[in-house]
């Protein structure tokens, strides 16, 4: 429930969430900072105001890769049989 509240707060701040895995959130963002991300995540919801929350976060740059079709020519080989 705490993570769900954090996800709503992150989206409201412009952090587009692309994936969650167990206790992790993966976000794709153009303008934002890891410090702001952590601040949003570490703010407890009103119903758990005194709950200490610590967040570990890191930033990574991803490049989209494009697969291109190979232009290899196929060769038809024939075996000659001696007789």
> Do the bridges between strand 16-21 and strand 24-28 make them parallel or antiparallel, or are there none, so unpaired?
antiparallel
Rg (CA), the chain: 25
Q: Classify each residue of 43-68 as buried b or exposed e, where b means 16 or more C-beta atoms within 10 Å of its C-beta.
A: eeeeeeeeeeeeeeeeeeeeeeeeee
The confidence score (pLDDT) of residue 8 equals: 94
Residue 5 has pLDDT above 90, yes or no: yes
Confidence of residue 83 (pLDDT cuts 50, 70, 90): very low
Q: How many helices (H) and strands (E) does the chain have?
A: 2, 2
Model pLDDT for residues 18-50, shown as the tens digit of each residue: 989 988 888 887 788 899 999 999 999 999 999
The secondary element (H helix, E strand) that includes residue 41 is: helix 34-42
The confidence score (pLDDT) of residue 32 equals: 84
């Amino acid at each position: 429930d705490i993570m769900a509240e954090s996800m709503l707060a992150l989206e409201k701040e412009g952090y587009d969430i692309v994936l969650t895995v167990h206790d992790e959130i993966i976000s794709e963002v153009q303008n934002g900072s890891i410090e702001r991300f952590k601040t949003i995540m570490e703010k407890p919801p009103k119903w758990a105001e005194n709950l200490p929350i610590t967040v570990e976060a890191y930033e990574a740059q991803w490049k989209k890769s494009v697969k291109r079709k190979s232009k290899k020519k196929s060769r038809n080989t024939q075996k000659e049989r001696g007789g």
